[in-house]
Amino acid sequence: MQQTAMHVPYPDRLRAAGLRVTSRRVAMLHDLDAHSHSSAEELYQRVAAQVPHLTRQAVYVSLNDFVSHGLVRSIELPGSPARYETRTGDNHHHLVCKHCGAIVDVDCAAGEAPCLTPSDNAGFEVHTADVTYFGICPQCRGTTSDATDAPESPKDRT
What Cα–Cα distance (Å) separates residue 9 from each residue in 15, 16, 27, 73, 129? 10, 11, 12, 18, 29
70 with 18, same domain: the answer is yes
pTM above 0.95, yes or no: no
Helix (H, G, I), strand (E, B) or coil at 96: strand
Is the separation of the CB atoms in 10 and 17 below 8 Å?
Answer: no
One-character DSSP codes across 28-63 = HHHHHHHSTTEEHHHHHHHHHTTSTT--HHHHHHHH
Query: Could you say which of 75, 110, 125 is where a domain stops?
Result: 75
61 with 105, same domain: the answer is no
Q: In total, how many domains does the chain have?
A: 2
Q: Is residue 1 in a domain?
A: no
**How much is the pLDDT for 37?**
96
The CATH code of the domain that includes 64 is: 1.10.10.10
Each residue's pLDDT, cut to its tens digit, for the chain (158 residues) gives 334 455 789 999 999 999 999 999 999 999 999 999 999 999 999 999 999 899 999 999 999 999 999 999 999 998 889 999 999 888 788 999 999 989 999 887 666 666 677 888 899 988 877 889 999 999 999 875 544 444 444 444 44
Q: Is residue 23 in a domain?
A: yes
Q: 153 lies in which domain range?
A: 91-158
